[in-house]
Amino acid sequence: MQQTRVAVVGSANMDLVGTAPALPRPGETVLGSDFVMLPGGKGANQAIAAVRAGASCVFLGAIGSDAFGVTLKARITGAGVDTSQLRVVYGASGVALVMVGAEGENAILVTPGANGAFVGLTEGELHAVRAADVLVAQLEVPVETVTAAAVAARDAGTRVILNAAPARQVPAELLAVVDLLVVNETEAQALTGRGRDEPAALLELVPRAVLTLGAQGAWYVDRDGRSVPVPPVKVDVVDSTAAGDAFTAALAVAWGEGRELVDAVHWAAAAGAACVRRLGASVALPRRAEIDELYAPPA
């Protein structure tokens, strides 16, 4: 099997993660139980997850000139990701403040830092996109950057997967070149004004879509008339922070390897389930053997 070549355009953050018996309500202080500092950001997470799932991956993004930036680059490179196109910009790196409750639920505040300065793709960055089998992007960097990368990918015959997170409106120019959209219920509502009961509404925007439903699994739809529920993979949840990133990256790898898309979504669901069994973002992303262990093919 030929190794899938993935390019990820997205964010890199330092995650400051605190755990507690319950998440604090507004105005409340809760005594926590643990703290860790880990590399994260949806872009970096998905790049690392793609490598662990079996792909080669180049990451396009921006880190700051601070100590967090040094650590981020070292950790991302150490995970096997090609960081030759990773920019360093003067100032602070992106930071995510993550609170995790005892049941695995989380609340996250992100300050973009260098991610907000990731604009104007260079020829080297565009070449990396064009050389990939699959481009994966999210919305934690400027949308004009994502759009430019997606247009370049479409022109080169590279498949485009957009994980439209965090929830926001997406310009028509970007949606026009998306091959596969991945969204949760909140993100789907932001795009269509409709919720989980109408995943087909996403097909008014893109030719194929996956609606992720957390503990309820996922739903795949396409313009060929398929509408397929994908059951959840049952595991004990420790931390759901990067489950969506593991899912999206595994989906890109499986599709790039030539799996039929419904089967690819099942494999991605196993990746998301494997991820939630450990605390943290990038450190919890599963390796291929862990995904295969939980994978159940479509009936």
Cα–Cα dist 50/256, whole Å: 11
Q: Is 245 annotated as a binding residue?
A: yes
> How many degrees, rounded to 5, is the angle at CA 31 between CA 30 and CA 37?
105
Residue 28 lies in a domain: no
**CA nearest to 191, candidates 215, 211, 177:** 211
Residue 156 lies in a domain: yes
Residue 53 amino acid letter: A
Please list the pLDDT of the chain residue by residue as tens digits (299 residues). Answer: 679 999 999 999 998 989 999 999 899 999 999 898 888 899 999 999 999 999 999 999 999 999 999 999 999 999 999 999 999 999 999 998 989 888 778 888 889 999 999 999 999 999 999 999 999 999 999 999 999 999 999 999 999 999 999 998 899 999 999 999 999 999 999 999 876 667 889 999 999 999 998 888 899 999 999 999 998 888 877 767 778 999 999 999 999 999 999 999 999 999 998 888 776 667 789 999 999 999 988 87
Residue 107 lies in a domain: no
Residue 216 lies in a domain: yes
Q: Is 256 annotated as a binding residue?
A: no
Residue 259 lies in a domain: yes
Using a cut of 0.95, tell me whether the model's pTM lies above it: no
228 - beta bridge partners? 220
**What phi and psi values does residue 65 have, to the nearest 5 degrees?**
-90, 10
Q: Is 214 annotated as a binding residue?
A: yes
How many other CB atoms are found less than 10 A from the CB of residue 30?
14
Cα–Cα dist 59/87, whole Å: 10
What residues act catalytically?
245
CA distances 254 to 2, 241, 269, Å, are 11, 22, 12
Q: How many domains does the chain have?
A: 1
Question: Are 251 and 264 spatial neighbours (Cβ–Cβ below 8 Å)?
Answer: yes
**CA nearest to 162, candidates 2, 147, 93, 123:** 147
Looking at residue 281, its pLDDT comes to 66
**CA nearest to 201, candidates 214, 188, 219:** 188
Residue 197 lies in a domain: yes
Looking at residue 196, its pLDDT comes to 60
The DSSP-derived string for 178-221 is: -SEEEEEHHHHHHHHS--TT-GGGGGGT-SEEEEE-GGG-EEEE
How many other CB atoms are found less than 10 A from the CB of residue 82?
20
At 22, list the tokens: 């319950």
Residue 101 lies in a domain: no
Q: Is 294 annotated as a binding residue?
A: no
For residue 225, what are the domain limits?
5-10+41-65+79-87+119-294
Looking at residue 2, its pLDDT comes to 76
Q: Is 71 annotated as a binding residue?
A: no
Looking at residue 195, its pLDDT comes to 62
Residue 224 lies in a domain: yes
Q: Is 15 annotated as a binding residue?
A: yes
List the CATH number of the domain containing 228: 3.40.1190.20
Max CA separation in the chain (angstroms): 54
Q: Is 155 annotated as a binding residue?
A: no
**DSSP state at residue 115:** G
Cα–Cα dist 217/139, whole Å: 23
